[in-house]
Structure formats: structure tokens, C-alpha cells
Amino acid sequence: MFAIKRALKLNNREATLMAKHAGFRRVVFNLGLSLRTQMYGERKFTDSKVIDEIKKVLTNHVKKQPEYAWMNQLSSRVYQNALIDLKEAFSRYREGKASHPTFASRRDGQSFTVDSSNGKVLLKSGNTIKIPTLGTFRLDEPLECGFVSQTFTISKEGNRWFVSFCVDAERCSVQQPESSVGIDLGVKSFATMSNSQVFDAPKPLKQAKTKLAKLQRKASKQRAGSNNQRKTLSKIGRLHARIACIRKDFLHKLTTYLATTFKSIKIEDLNVKGLLANHKLAGAIADLGFYEFRRQLEYKCQMYGTLLVVVDRWFPSSKICSNCGHKKEMPLQVRTYDCPTCGVSIDRDLNASLNILNWEPSA
């Protein structure tokens, strides 16, 4: 069993719906807690009995009050789950695992749980998710394959809403057709693979970046706080969002392809001191999304059962001849590896990817 968490792409109406449900959860939890505290003297009541009593009060009295009528428009599963949370909070308290439950406040963060009362539901792969009793919503990252789950927690972090749920399946079943590959990540080409395939960052990304640099120069020349500067800054903001979107899409396609195509993938550890000491290169690495690439590749490999091998960070993949093992210095501007020992002449990045493929952990 493993947990999946995905950011939701919500429009204003949907975000408001989520916020309302989070508020509903808070109100029900707090009403329940206050009723529970009032009943505390009634020692003969078990937790379940108390929760049943609270449910009766909420259903027969509270929900019928005009000021609480809005509750009837929202998912009743939120209300059920808020009371389950309350019950669990009290059992943890009684077992000495937690302190006495306290009133939920907006400051604790917004979240709520819904579930399907008809048992588990099938979630289809793709860019949307159907959440029981709430509706269908767009996802920031697609679901790679169909999953089965029953309980969904929706929470807000910063300005974004997330959905999380547990799935039974160990992983998505996939038969990768190819055995293994070594990947060299670079500034010139994003990824060079030991089978000679090359993946470049998408063209629109490069175009958008040129445009971004232009706008940033423009903004720096405009009078601070002026209307014109504000307009330029808002353009810059939109462009940043567009760039992030294109990059993410590119990385998703690439990492899904890799994890479903190869049985084993070898990549370099990117925390290379030398690389990060070089500021220009460090900036380029952050900019290109190497860390995001690694994050996506890690979880997709886990999901599809692909073996991911991270090569030792000190392995000099660029300096070794992949044909004979000769070692020489390779300044960054040298794009071809010309071996003085065996005479091979090979693209710098392809040579590195072959060395990464052939790397074996030392015993």
C-alpha cells in the first residue's frame, strides 16, 4: 500500500467549494468536541455511543437551524469523517498517545476528508480525478495508471489544494521492452542516453526564456512602482508560470517514457560539488529542472517497478574513454572525446552516458 498525493488545478469556483468543505469539517469537529465535552460526565457512554449522540444532535437540531443550512449543500461525507476524526482523537487521548483534542482553527490549515460510502472506487489514469461526493477535478500531474481507493483527503498548502489517498496496488504493472540505459544530463542537451537518443529541452521553453530575459531588462529600466513597470512585472509573472508549465510537461513525458521503457536506469548524482561551485552551471541546472527530473523519475520508477541506480557522485563520467578506459581531463567546452590511446572519437555526452551505463558499485 502506498500514498499518492497530487496537486489539484482548481478554478475559483472549485477552490471556493474546497474552502467551504474545509470550513464545514472545522465547524462539525468543533461542535462535536464541545458536545463531547458536555457529555463527558456520562461515563456509561462509549466513544461510539457518544458519536452517535453527537450525530443525532447535529442532524436533528444543528443542521435545521437557518444559520447552519449551508451544511446541507455540502458533502455529508465530510461531516461523517470529521466525527470519525474526533472519535480517533479521543481514543488516542485515552491511550496516552496524544493530548486532549483541541478546537480546530483556520490557522491549523484547511483540510477535510471524504470517502465513498459504496466501497472502493476506480480512479482512471489521466489528467483528472473523480473524488467521491465532490466531483471531477483537474490534476497538476496525471495519474499514471488506474488506481483503486476509498478515502480522500483534500488539503491546502500555501495557495494550492492537494488530494491524497492510499492505494492497495504495489505498483502499476508494465513490461519494459528495453533492458538498461545510462543517462547523462547536460546543459547543451537535456538528456543524452547510452543508446544514442538525445532529449533537448523543448523549443518553446528556449523562446520563452529569451522573452523573459528581455522583459526583465525592460522592467529594470522602468520607473519603480510605475504603472508601466507593474504591467511588465505582471507579464513576467505570467511568463514564469508558462515556463514552469512547459518544463513540467516536458519532464513528465520524458520520465514516464524512461520508466516504462527501460528495466534499469542509471543516472548521475547531481549533488556534485564541482558543478554547484560553478555558479553559472548551478543556475543552469536549477533552471533546467534537474532536481524535478530526479524527483519524478524516482517516484515513477518506484511505481512501474523500474530499477533506478544512482551513480557515485565522484565518478568522473566525462573523463573516461568508454571504449578503452583511458582517463584524461575534459574541460567543459570540449564537445568531443578524442581518445589518445584507442583513437575513438565520440560525442562528449554520449561517452559520459556510456560510462554511466557501465558503472558498477564498488563492493
Q: Which residues are catalytic?
A: 184, 268, 349
CB of 337 to Zn ion, least distance (A): 8
CA atoms lying within 13 Å on the CB side of residue 110: 17
CB of 298 to Zn ion, least distance (A): 33
Residue numbers 318-347 binding Zn ion by CB under 5 A? 321, 323-324, 326, 339, 341-342, 344
Instruction: Specify which residues 123 forms β-bridges with.
Output: 147
What is the x/- site pattern for Zn ion, positions 249-268, by CB under 5 A? --------------------
Residue numbers 166-185 binding Zn ion by CB under 5 A? none
Q: Which is nearer to Zn ion, 251 or 354 (CB)?
A: 354
Q: Which is nearer to Zn ion, 171 or 319 (CB)?
A: 319
Evaluate the CA torsion angle 135, 136, 140, 145 in order and state its sign: positive
Q: Which is nearer to Zn ion, 18 or 339 (CB)?
A: 339
CB of 347 to Zn ion, least distance (A): 14
CB of 348 to Zn ion, least distance (A): 14
Q: Which is nearer to Zn ion, 197 or 323 (CB)?
A: 323
From 226-234, 277-285, 301-309, 315-323, give the range in contact with Zn ion by CB under 5 A: 315-323
What is the x/- site pattern for Zn ion, positions 274-313, by CB under 5 A? ----------------------------------------
CB of 342 to Zn ion, least distance (A): 3
How many degrees, rounded to 5, is the angle at CA 298 between CA 297 and CA 302? 110
The CA distance from 209 to 150, in Å, is: 43
Q: Which of 241, 221, 219 is nearest to 232 (CA)?
A: 219
CA atoms lying within 13 Å on the CB side of residue 353: 24
Size of the site for Zn ion (CB under 5 A): 8
CB of 355 to Zn ion, least distance (A): 11
Q: Which is nearer to Zn ion, 245 or 342 (CB)?
A: 342
Q: Is 90 exposed, middle or buried (0-12, 13-18, 19+ CB in 10 A)?
A: buried
Residue 305's region, left for phi above 0, alpha for psi from -120 to 50, else beta, is left
What is the x/- site pattern for Zn ion, positions 121-160, by CB under 5 A? ----------------------------------------
The CA distance from 348 to 357, in Å, is: 14
CB of 189 to Zn ion, least distance (A): 22
| CB of 150 closer than 8 Å to CB of 115 | yes
Q: Where are the beta strands (DSSP E) in 132-197?
A: 135-143, 147-149, 151-157, 160-167, 178-185, 191-193
Enumerate the H helices of the chain as residue ranges.
12-38, 47-60, 76-94, 203-221, 227-261, 273-277, 279-288, 290-304, 348-358
Q: Which is nearer to Zn ion, 304 or 337 (CB)?
A: 337
The CA distance from 357 to 359, in Å, is: 6
From 112-120, 225-233, 265-273, 314-322, give the range in contact with Zn ion by CB under 5 A: 314-322
The CA distance from 78 to 67, in Å, is: 18
Instruction: Specify which residues 347 forms β-bridges with.
Output: 336
Q: Which is nearer to Zn ion, 237 or 325 (CB)?
A: 325
Q: Does 213 bind Zn ion (CB under 5 A)?
A: no
Binding site for Zn ion (CB under 5 A): 321, 323-324, 326, 339, 341-342, 344
